[in-house]
Amino acid sequence: MDRWGDSGMTGSLLQTAWWGELKEEFGWSVTTATEGTRVFCRSLGPFRLGYIPFGFSRATGDPPGPGAIGQVVQSMREAAKDLPGRPHLLRWDVPWQVDHFDRSEAVAAGLRPAPVRVQPPDTVVVSLQDEEESLLSRMKSKTRYNIRLAQRRGVLVEAFTADDSRADRELMLWYELYQDTARRDRITIHPFCYYRRVLELSRRDGAPRLTLYQARHEGDLLGGIVVVSWQGTSTYLYGAGADIKRNLMASYLLQWEALRQARARGDRSYDLFGIPPSDDPAHPMHGLYRFKTGFGGELLHRPGCWDLPLHQHRAWCFRNAERVRGWYYQGLRKGLEGSLGRIRAAAGRPGA
């Protein structure tokens, strides 16, 4: 029987039994393969996909040794024999940094770059092994200023752990804000029952520790973030922000309080979990890059997803269908929505 926090030989939160049970309840089947790595399988129309989020890494975080990619591919092929439904393709979200991943070696071993991303390959990780003043000193001056501005103007942050009797109601309030955030930023989110289950599963003995941080000002809920602590790392998973009182900089104080409390619990690092790949002002999420890098962490860059086709024809069809879907949603559809928005603005009409 898997322990709730057990992740075999891998050091990722997304390889824990806790995450596996959550995904099983929402349409995935989960199989434990080589060295405790979990493979998440599901059918997508006529295709069968096996997904390995940050698998085949060491819990110690040590870099891979020589020939590691070939060994991973061999393990993937062996694992595929025992997976339900015999997937047409295995997709591996590589946990190693790009400096430790040889693309030519990966291609020679049979892997191909995936046409889509699943988990963010780029992130910011803040070390928590110094005093609070040292953490503040490593931040950008604008970030420190905004944290103190929120404090001066009376923004209050409260933490609700999974076993707090108020957590269920706070999660409902947070989700209402999250829906507004999703509409504003045009992102896709899960239904409320998904996040409620994340909270419920976090109440099990040995599960990763979940905390919901909520920021308020004079009774108004301005934002909230969900942070999960496991194996010495706190990870910022979800965040929501209100349209009102944005000048109070509640989002900065939320992250600072989460950092402080993670350090107080003894966590060694805080993963802000996802940024654009570079400081590019033309990137549509450049503001997110500036916000997260402002906290002074180390930038980590991973290679992203790589596919191992197991049924050549079906894998080819699936990968090309993903390319077309990505072109429609990321290119054509967003371009059309932007054009319509500009037309409405010019005509003085609100959006639909």
Tokens 């896709």 correspond to 188
Tens digits of per-residue pLDDT, 278-320?
999 999 999 999 999 999 999 999 999 999 999 999 999 999 9
Smallest Cα–Cα separation from 198: which of 222, 224, 173, 167?
167
Smallest Cα–Cα separation from 212: which of 154, 167, 269?
167
Query: In b/e form, how buried is each residue of 232-245, taking b as 16+ CB within 10 angstroms?
Result: ebbbbbbbbbbeeb
pTM for the predicted model, two decimal places: 0.88
Residue 165 or 44, more confident:
165
Smallest Cα–Cα separation from 216: which of 171, 168, 156?
156
Beta bridge partners of 271: 125, 235
Task: Answer yes or no: is pLDDT of 212 > 80.
Answer: yes
Of 53-67, 201-215, 326-340, the range with the lowest mean pLDDT is 326-340
For 60, the 3-state DSSP assignment is: coil
Residue-range domains of the chain with CATH: 13-118+302-334 (3.40.630.30), 130-267 (3.40.630.30)
Task: Answer yes or no: is pLDDT of 344 > 60.
Answer: no
* pLDDT at res. 7: 46
Task: Answer yes or no: is pLDDT of 4 > 80.
Answer: no
How far is 18 from 230, CA to CA, in rounded Å? 11
Give the residue-averaged pLDDT of 54-60: 75
For 162, the 3-state DSSP assignment is: coil
Tens digits of per-residue pLDDT, 97-155?
999 999 999 999 999 999 999 999 999 999 999 999 999 999 999 999 999 999 999 99
Are 9 and 36 in contact by the 8 Å Cβ rule? The answer is: yes
Tens digits of per-residue pLDDT, 76-99?
999 999 898 889 999 999 999 999
Q: What's the longest Cα–Cα distance across the chain?
A: 62
Are 123 and 275 in contact by the 8 Å Cβ rule? The answer is: yes
Q: Which percentage of the chain shows pLDDT scores above 90? A: 80
Tens digits of per-residue pLDDT, 277-286?
999 999 999 9
C-alpha distance from residue 140 to each of 6, 131, 273, 348 (Å): 36, 17, 19, 39
Tokens 């905004």 correspond to 146
Given the DSSP bridges, would you call strands 89-93 and 47-53 parallel, antiparallel or unpaired? parallel
